[in-house]
Amino acid sequence: MSEIRTAVIGVGYLGKFHAQKYSGLKNSKLLAVVDKEFNNAEKVARETGCEALTDYHKLLGNVDAVSIVVPTDLHYEIAADFLNHQTHVLVEKPITTNVKQAEQLIALAKKNNSILQVGHLERFNPAILAIEKELSEVRFIESHRLAPYNPRGTEVSVVLDLMIHDIDIILDIVDSEVEKIDASGTSVLSNDIDIANARIVFKNGCVANVTASRVSNKTDRKMRIFQHDAYLSVDFQNRELATYRKGNGEMYPGVPNIDIDKNNFDDADALKTEIEHFLDCIQNQTMPKVTGQDAKRALQTAIKISELLS
C-alpha cells in the first residue's frame, strides 16, 4: 500500500492537528475531515485540501485509516463501525469508557485484521523514547501532571483525562502486575474528581506515586524514575531528559560521584511521530507501540483508581 487513504473524525482542538499531520505526510492521502459542526470541518478541510463532512458513515468502506478524535463516550461506536469495514483505527485515549468496550474493539481489530492504535501521545515524547535503553530494575516512580482548569475533557475525571497518560507509561516501564492501589482525590471546579493521587504497588516490588490535577495555576508534567544505579528525570512539557548515574570517582569516602547527562529535544513533534508510526504499522503490517491491549490495561487501572475515589 503506497498511499494510504486517510480521514479524521472530529476536528476540534486536537483533531485539526491530526488532519494537518496526515495532509503533510507523503504516504497519506487525506480524503476528508468530519465534525458535527460543519463550520469546523469546512475550515480544516480548506486548510488541508480535503472534503468536509458531518457524517462519518459516508466514509465507511471508502478509506484505509482514520484518526478518531471525539469525546470518549463516542469512541466505541465510531471505532467499531470502521473496524467492521476493515479500516485501520487510531483512536484517542482513553480507548473507551469501560473495559468491556475496549475488549470488543480489540476483538474486532483482530477479526478484521486491522491495526488498532491508541493515542497515548506521551509514549512518543522523545524524552520517553530516549529512556528505553536506560531502564533497568526500576524501583520507584514519581509523576506529576498538573494543568490549569479547562472545560475540554471534563466529561471524565482527572484520572481518565490526565493521569491515564502516566499510568500507561508506568505500566509499560514496570511491566509487572499491579498488586495494590491506594488513592485519594476530590472535586474542586467540576462535578467530577479534579485532583487525585494514587500509590500503585507492583508485584515485582516497584512502587509508583502518581499525582494529577486540572486545577493548578501552572502546567507541570514530570516523571522521576529511580533504579538501582540511576535516577532519570523526564520533563514532558519541555521535552527534556536528565540522567543521574553513579560515577567511578568518590564525592565522599565510600560515596560515588554522580555523573549527569542532560538532553533536550526541542525540535521533536510527538504527534507527527505517532501518526507516522501508525501509517508505518499499516504498510509493514506490524504491531503498534500502543496496542488496544496496552490501552485496555491503562483504562482498567485508571478505573480502579476512580472507583477508590468515588
| Other CB atoms within 10 Å distance of the CB of residue 269 | 14
Q: What is the model's pLDDT at position 307? A: 94
Set of cell numbers at residue 162: 490526565
Q: What is the model's pLDDT at position 154? A: 67
pLDDT band per the 50, 70, 90 thresholds, residue 77 = very high
Task: Select from 22, 50, 18, 53 the least CA-distant residue to 37.
Answer: 53
Q: Where are the domains of the chain?
A: 4-120+271-290, 123-267+300-309
pLDDT band per the 50, 70, 90 thresholds, residue 133 = confident
List pLDDT tens digits, range 154-203.
Answer: 667 899 989 999 999 999 999 899 999 999 999 998 888 899 999 999 99
DSSP secondary structure letter of residue 238: T
Among 74-78, 129-133, 215-219, which is the least confidently predicted range?
129-133
Report the pLDDT averaged over residues 12-25: 96
Q: Which residues share a beta bridge with 42?
A: none
Do 265 and 130 meet the contact criterion of CB atoms below 8 Å apart?
A: yes
3-state secondary structure of 274: helix
On the 0-12 / 13-18 / 19+ scale of CB atoms within 10 A, 193 is buried
Q: What is the model's pLDDT at position 41? A: 98
pLDDT band per the 50, 70, 90 thresholds, residue 1 = low
Looking at domain 4-120+271-290, which of 3.40.50.150, 1.10.287.70, 3.40.50.720, 3.40.640.10 is its CATH number? 3.40.50.720
Do 262 and 241 meet the contact criterion of CB atoms below 8 Å apart?
A: yes
Architecture of domain 123-267+300-309: 2-Layer Sandwich (3.30)
pLDDT band per the 50, 70, 90 thresholds, residue 310 = confident
CA separation for the pair 157, 168 (Å, rounded): 16
List pLDDT tens digits, range 260-282.
Answer: 999 998 778 999 999 999 999 99
**Phi, psi torsion values for 119, nearest 5 degrees:** -80, 60
3-state secondary structure of 304: helix
* Dihedral over Cα of 88, 93, 97, 101: its sign: positive
3-state secondary structure of 20: helix
Name every residue whose Cβ is closer than 8 Å to that of residue 50 and which is 6 or more positions away in sequence.
Answer: 7, 19, 23, 30, 31, 32, 33
Q: What is the model's pLDDT at position 287? A: 97
Please determine, for residue 229, whether its predicted confidence score (pLDDT) is greater than 90: no
pLDDT band per the 50, 70, 90 thresholds, residue 150 = confident
Q: What is the model's pLDDT at position 153? A: 63
CA separation for the pair 200, 182 (Å, rounded): 7
Please determine, for residue 231, whether its predicted confidence score (pLDDT) is greater than 80: yes
Q: Are strands 178-186 and 138-146 parallel, antiparallel or unpaired?
A: unpaired
CA separation for the pair 238, 204 (Å, rounded): 31
